[in-house]
């Protein structure tokens, strides 16, 4: 009998990258970006999304001038952002061609300027070109500055499935420039705040109290407060990724996905009419009420969470939570739980709230209690109070 032999391989790789918070990063006097580029061969190309060129006229001239003043040359590719870039493989091919034609190697840089979708897609191209080139992310939305852009993942959609292709590849650096946030529409400004509420609820009561106390100023687009919110939210995400022991998500637990199982399903059921953060707000509301109905949180805490979300301008209910012309919970929502488990791999793990600022993971959810939670949200929402037919059906 042949005797098999095994050589056990073992090594560790340590990662580190700076996440810088600044303003006007392409002003020649701002040395953040150039300071990073000086570490390497200093050869760089930049991909920027169309919306930024449109909302910030003069940005391309500013970028060219920035590199010229610092004695460098940087080719620029302008490409559409939003979910379209993650759905259309031709855009990945375009970015790869750009990398190839400008002979970007593993010691030169790809700078990506855009929202979470552009960063995911361009980050994916950067991760597969030469098995990984240096990526500097410049996130331009609240959500990408405080959550998606500071982490280690990138992806595109494939086979009609969100984020089906992708890699875990930490960036070389991230530079958040608050000035980009000025041109966001109100929905995208608000959407990213949902991620801050999420991470505050599971990790940091003081941060939740701070958000609740500053709702009005955030709604009035106070930039200084938004910068503080983005900073703390990014810090909590970075801390979690770096210290919780599972940066590349090998296990089943995903605490930062609090409220996300229902959110992912709702985004899909709404045909992506709901923005990610809008869906997350509803998911947070649902799992908060569910936490209460299963003996966690006290009633006052539930009111505080729902009030905060509503005051920020989020809906806490969506008609897609119910079957059409019925008050029954949408069966697809239960399917969302199973899809979430498949996405995580392993066993279902859902984050609930033990109290504000403290999460607690569970391995199953009761369909009956979920239905009760949906009914509760319906009756607490403006959708219900503005809709006589729903009121009639519920009597």
Ligand X SMILES: NC(=O)c1ccc[n+]([C@@H]2O[C@H](COP(=O)([O-])OP(=O)(O)OC[C@H]3O[C@@H](n4cnc5c(N)ncnc54)[C@H](O)[C@@H]3O)[C@@H](O)[C@H]2O)c1
Q: Does 78 bind ligand X (CB under 6 A)?
A: no
Rounded to whole angstroms, the Cα distance separating 90 from 102 reads: 18
Q: Does 255 bind ligand X (CB under 6 A)?
A: no
Q: Kindly tell me which of 42 and 282 has the beta carbon lying closer to ligand X.
A: 282
Task: Choose one: 148-156, 240-248, 300-308, 351-359; the region binding ligand X (CB under 6 A).
Answer: 148-156
Q: Does 339 bind ligand X (CB under 6 A)?
A: no
Burial of residue 45, with CB atoms counted within 10 A of its CB: 0-12 exposed, 13-18 middle, 19 or more buried: buried
Beta strand spans in the chain (E): 19-22, 44-49, 74-79, 109-114, 134-139, 153-158, 161-168, 173-177, 350-355, 358-362
Task: Choose one: 50-58, 70-78, 94-102, 313-321; the region binding ligand X (CB under 6 A).
Answer: 50-58
Burial of residue 379, with CB atoms counted within 10 A of its CB: 0-12 exposed, 13-18 middle, 19 or more buried: middle
Q: Kindly tell me which of 34 and 256 has the beta carbon lying closer to ligand X.
A: 256
Burial of residue 2, with CB atoms counted within 10 A of its CB: 0-12 exposed, 13-18 middle, 19 or more buried: exposed
Q: Does 196 bind ligand X (CB under 6 A)?
A: no
Q: Kindly tell me which of 147 and 315 has the beta carbon lying closer to ligand X.
A: 147
Please check whether residue 143 is in contact with residue 195, taking contact to mean a CB–CB distance below 8 angstroms.
yes
Number of residues that bind ligand X (CB under 6 A): 30
Task: Choose one: 32-40, 109-117, 307-315, 338-346; the region binding ligand X (CB under 6 A).
Answer: 109-117
Please check whether residue 175 is in contact with residue 138, taking contact to mean a CB–CB distance below 8 angstroms.
yes
Please check whether residue 196 is in contact with residue 171, taking contact to mean a CB–CB distance below 8 angstroms.
no
Task: Among 180, 208, 258, 290, indicate the residue that binds ligand X (CB under 6 A).
Answer: 180
Please, which of residues 10-49 interact with ligand X by CB under 6 A?
Answer: 49
Please, which of residues 278-297 interact with ligand X by CB under 6 A?
Answer: none
Query: For residue 198, what are its two tokens?
Result: 């999420």
Alpha helices, DSSP H only, in 214-312? Answer: 215-219, 223-243, 260-269, 276-293, 299-311
Q: Kindly tell me which of 85 and 390 has the beta carbon lying closer to ligand X.
A: 85
Q: Does 247 bind ligand X (CB under 6 A)?
A: no
Q: Kindly tell me which of 121 and 322 has the beta carbon lying closer to ligand X.
A: 121
Q: Kindly tell me which of 163 and 294 has the beta carbon lying closer to ligand X.
A: 163
Q: Does 147 bind ligand X (CB under 6 A)?
A: yes
Burial of residue 12, with CB atoms counted within 10 A of its CB: 0-12 exposed, 13-18 middle, 19 or more buried: exposed
Q: Does 81 bind ligand X (CB under 6 A)?
A: yes
Q: Kindly tell me which of 82 and 255 has the beta carbon lying closer to ligand X.
A: 82
- DSSP letter at 329? B
Task: Among 34, 48, 141, 337, indicate the residue that binds ligand X (CB under 6 A).
Answer: 141
Contacts to ligand X by CB under 6 A: 49, 51-52, 55, 81-83, 86, 114-118, 120, 140-141, 143-144, 147-148, 151, 153-154, 163, 180, 183-184, 188, 191, 276
């Amino acid at each position: 009998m042949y005797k098999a032999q095994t050589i056990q391989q073992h090594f560790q790789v340590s990662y580190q990258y700076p996440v810088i918070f600044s303003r006007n990063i392409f002003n020649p006097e701002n040395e953040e970006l150039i300071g990073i580029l000086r570490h390497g061969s200093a050869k760089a190309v930049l991909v920027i999304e169309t919306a930024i060129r449109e909302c910030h006229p003069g940005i391309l001239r500013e970028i060219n001038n920035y590199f010229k003043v610092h004695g460098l040359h940087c080719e620029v590719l302008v490409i559409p952002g939003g979910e379209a870039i993650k759905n259309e493989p031709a855009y990945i091919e375009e970015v790869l061609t750009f990398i190839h034609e400008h002979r970007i190697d593993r010691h030169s840089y790809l700078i990506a300027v855009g929202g979470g979708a552009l960063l995911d897609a361009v980050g994916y191209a950067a991760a597969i070109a030469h098995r990984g080139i240096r990526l500097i992310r410049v996130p331009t939305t609240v959500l990408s500055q405080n959550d998606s852009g500071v982490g280690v993942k990138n992806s595109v959609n494939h086979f009609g499935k969100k984020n089906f292709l992708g890699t875990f590849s930490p960036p070389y650096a991230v530079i958040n420039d608050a000035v980009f946030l000025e041109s966001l529409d109100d929905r995208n400004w608000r959407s990213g705040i949902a991620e801050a509420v999420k991470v505050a609820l599971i990790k940091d009561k003081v941060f939740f109290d701070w958000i609740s106390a500053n709702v009005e100023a955030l709604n009035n687009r106070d930039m200084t407060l938004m910068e503080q919110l983005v900073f703390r939210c990014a810090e909590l995400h970075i801390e979690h990724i770096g210290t919780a022991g599972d940066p590349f998500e090998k296990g089943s637990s995903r605490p930062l996905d609090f409220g996300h199982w229902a959110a992912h399903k709702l985004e899909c059921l709404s045909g992506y009419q709901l923005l990610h953060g809008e869906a997350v707000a509803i998911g947070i509301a649902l799992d908060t009420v569910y936490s209460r109905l299963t003996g966690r949180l006290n009633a006052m805490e539930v009111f505080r969470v729902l009030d905060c979300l509503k005051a920020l301008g989020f809906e806490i209910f969506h008609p897609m939570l119910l079957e059409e012309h019925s008050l029954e919970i949408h069966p697809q929502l239960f399917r969302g739980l199973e899809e979430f488990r498949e996405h995580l791999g392993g066993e279902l793990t859902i984050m609930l709230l033990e109290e504000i600022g403290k999460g607690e993971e569970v391995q199953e959810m009761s369909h009956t209690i979920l239905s009760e939670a949906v009914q509760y949200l319906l009756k607490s929402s403006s959708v219900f109070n503005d809709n006589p037919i729903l009121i009639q059906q519920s009597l």
